[in-house]
Structure 1
Amino acid sequence: MHKLIRMHGYSTVPIADMVGTYEIKLNTHCVLSLVLINYAIHHLEAHGMTYQLAYTFNLRNGHVYTLAELFKPGSPYVDRLNDMIKQQIQDREIQLLHEFKSIDANQSFYITDKDLVIYFPIYQYTPYYYGILTFQVPYTAISDLLAPSGPICKIRN
């Protein structure tokens, strides 16, 4: 939560109000996926800003998974996810501030019992009123790419 507070410039800019919350997206088979959410409004601003961080843990050893660790080494998961995100942008008629090209190496995500959720912060691709932009990717659409010892396969067995 400290990282989220610092993202708001807490020590350098006067903040009128700040609220921190969390959501547990998955907690089963020693896999925990949670989202930390922090909203703050600075003094004299018209509206506040929400930042979000997500973590997916192995509860047996405390390991925090990266997106790459969900997939088989060498699998074309980046291309598949990019194609699915581009299709959802088109299907949902999402108004972008600039063209979506690709997820990045440190892409933010969390997992649920049925979906991998890729998300982007406010303003990265969409105007403020969209909020945090999320894309749900059903496990059935990526099952051939999943790492057999990864957290998704653990929860699906």
Structure 2
Amino acid sequence: MKRATLTLPKMTKMMTAAVLTAGLLLPATAMLGTTGVQVAAAASSAQATKTVKATWNGKALGANAFQAAGDTYVPVKALAKAAGLSLTYDKTSGQYTLGTSPNTLTLSAYQNQVWISANGVGLQTEGRAKAGTMYVPLSVLSDFAGIDGSLNAASGTVTLKPAAAAGIKVTEKTLKSNLKNAVVDIRYPVLSGSAKGIDKINATLKKHAQSFLNGFGKDIKKYEEWNEGRDMHYEADANFMISYNRDGLFSVVTQDYAFYGGAHGGTLQTGYNFDLKTGKEVTLSQLLKANPNYRGAIDKKIAAEFKKQGSLLETDGFKTIGSDPNFYVKNGGFTIFFQQYEYTPYAAGIPSFDFTFASLLPKGTNPFAGL
């Protein structure tokens, strides 16, 4: 499976506190610096929003949410207080951390946007900064933060509550390193539970982390030879994001970042989708077997999106996802992503495309029935 790709979280990680804030509420100066186009877009977005009430476990959240662009945006500070979630601010990185691993969201506010990473893995879905407050999309909370939510359009209320306990518990471990002249922070997930495939899955994920560390060490030796006598800085940083943990399937995204000097580092992102009974990886074809023509439908949508974005390095460069694409499962569907520079320039980040099972499978089909 193709697994390497570029992402934007390191841009967020390296942002200074100068463009962020020292508290949860954003001062007016943090909202300055937008271009005329951005201001117009923000004004248009504001007109398209609709205020909705929000509750946590049946009690008022203490602040309203709002609807926009097909999602519901939940106020971060009010959610943390009502749900008893940890909410901290790091002055060095200028980032906020909501919740605890493996359901941590890291938030970086800039102008009217909130860039989000889930347990250290960057997302393309963004939050919003509105009237001095940060908001996170309900879809992100449901997919990555262990929170269930539903919107009652008739009453104009979004109901939030803790997600049902997953059958497989996930903790994290960190690999130790004695590499000199390098900052190493490599974290990987460890599963526990009664599923028969857990040991095999744990072995695969640990091997992945160890292989990244080993490769990083070998690469440092090469760079040290090329840069003999120069004071160099090296960094290895590995994170993981749990995107699905039910219905007999465990989906996790690992993200390995390495920096050897230069303008920026490189990121390797991997999507693992495991059958919990066997510990074997599940393919997209297995999940979509009820639709033998799924690839054509996906190819058509992705090609249209690439054309709309105008981000391809080569015109009509994308043809097909192929038989073994990079993907991960999340609530109600899956996300396909591509490699760094595979189709787009570095600045485009990870080209990611979301699909629902309902849009590709016959009505009533359970994609996990064969697991």
TM-score range, shorter chain: 0.7 to 0.9
1:88 counterpart = 2:311: no
Change in Cα spacing, 1:121 to 1:31, as seen in structure 2 (3 Å) is same
Per the alignment, residue 110 of structure 1 pairs with: 328
| Amino acid paired to 2:267 | T
What is the TM-score normalised by the length of structure 2? 0.37
Q: Structure 2 CA distance, aligned partners of 1:100 and 1:7?
A: 33
User: Higher relative contact order at CA 8 Å, sep ≥6: structure 1 or structure 2?
Assistant: 1
Change in Cα spacing, 1:54 to 1:7, as seen in structure 2 (3 Å) is farther
Equivalence map 1:4-153=2 (5 Å): 5=212, 10-12=217-219, 13-14=222-223, 16-42=234-260, 44-72=261-289, 75-91=292-308, 93-98=309-314, 99-144=317-362, 150-151=367-368
Q: Structure 2 CA distance, aligned partners of 1:7 and 1:130?
A: 29
Q: What is the identity percentage for the equivalent residue pairs of Structure 1 and Structure 2?
A: 25
- Structure of larger gyration radius: 2
Q: Which runs of 5+ in 1 are unaligned?
A: none
| Amino acid paired to 2:305 | Q
Is contact 1:75-1:145 (8 Å) kept?
no
Matched position secondary structure for 1:27 = strand
Q: Structure 2 CA distance, aligned partners of 1:137 and 1:104?
A: 16
Q: Structure 1 CA distance, aligned partners of 2:353 and 2:300?
A: 12
What is the TM-score normalised by the length of structure 1? 0.82
Is contact 1:8-1:40 (8 Å) kept?
no
Is contact 1:76-1:145 (8 Å) kept?
no
Q: Structure 2 CA distance, aligned partners of 1:145 and 1:33?
A: 24
Structure 1 stretches of 4+ with a deviation exceeding 4 A read: 6-10
Q: Which runs of 5+ in 2 are unaligned?
A: 1-207, 224-232
Number of positions where the alignment pairs a residue of Structure 1 with one of Structure 2: 151
Q: Provide, for residues 89-143 of structure 1, a one-character-per-residue CA deviation record: whole Å limited to 9, x for no partner.
A: 234x141012111112221111101222110011101110111111111222112
| Amino acid paired to 2:357 | Y
Is contact 1:77-1:145 (8 Å) kept?
no
Is contact 2:216-2:236 (8 Å) kept?
no
Moved more, 8-17 or 44-53: 8-17
